[in-house]
A and B are shown apart, each in its own frame.
Chain A
Amino acid sequence: DGGITQSPKYLFRKEGQNVTLSCEQNLNHDAMYWYRQDPGQGLRLIYYSQIVNDFQKGDIAEGYSVSREKKESFPLTVTSAQKNPTAFYLCASSKGRGVGDTQYFGPGTRLTVL
């Protein structure tokens, strides 16, 4: 997990509320990623950013938004439009912008909607 921090570790949200998950890296990596993991399943890509002020949708971007104003930060907002937001959220970064570069993961944020 070294070099990438996610906060908070656990997050509870009421239905209808937006919530923002933090992801910070001090690895000087260009690319950053957000994944969602549901129980017993693999990771699904929500959004990724290969450079500051630019980001791309992944496979399941609906109901989520991101920003990349600084190289070291890539916050994810889970909006009220996301119908089933309860999940484990993982942030990652990679040195290069190339697809397939080794990704370094944060410890994750577990979001529960009450």
Chain B
Amino acid sequence: SQQGEEDPQALSIQEGENATMNCSYKTSINNLQWYRQNSGRGLVHLILIRSNEREKHSGRLRVTLDTSKKSSSLLITASRAADTASYFCATDSNTGNQFYFGTGTSLTVIP
């Protein structure tokens, strides 16, 4: 399966700290995306990084991509209680026509 896996499964930090979560995938990709899901809600797109990019920033978010290791990381700096959510990576496949979501990291930011 192409499905990615996030690590850790759950993460609990204090407000103001940085949160890092990782995603590993199995086959070559064109793009990797990160999404956020608040409990019981739909997913919201955060950031897309293409296979020829190594790092991308958006506000307090920093995403890296290492295609040689088939892995990506999402860093949230200066976390806030409102960042509490589940975070998913999603990958396409440069040989297929589907889009695969990982199993998610559940982030809790303690005020």
Interface set of A (CB-CB < 8 Å, partner B): 1, 4, 33, 35, 40-45, 48, 56, 58-59, 88, 90, 92, 99-100, 102-108, 110
Instruction: Check A90/B103 contact, CB under 8 A, given A45-B98, A99-B96, A100-B92.
Output: no
Beta-carbon nearest neighbor of B92 in chain A: A100
The answer to whether A102 touches B33, judged by C-beta atoms less than 8 angstroms apart, is yes
| Range of interface residues on B (Cβ < 8 Å) | 20 to 34
Total A-B Cβ pairs within 8 A: 64
List, in ascending order, chain B residues with CB within 8 A of A4's CB: 42
The answer to whether A100 touches B31, judged by C-beta atoms less than 8 angstroms apart, is yes
Query: Which B residues between 53 and 87 are near A, CB-CB below 8 angstroms?
Result: none
Closest 3 CB pairs of A and B: A105-B42, A100-B92, A100-B31
The answer to whether B98 touches A90, judged by C-beta atoms less than 8 angstroms apart, is no
Out of A42, A59, A108, which one reaches B41, CB within 8 Å?
A108
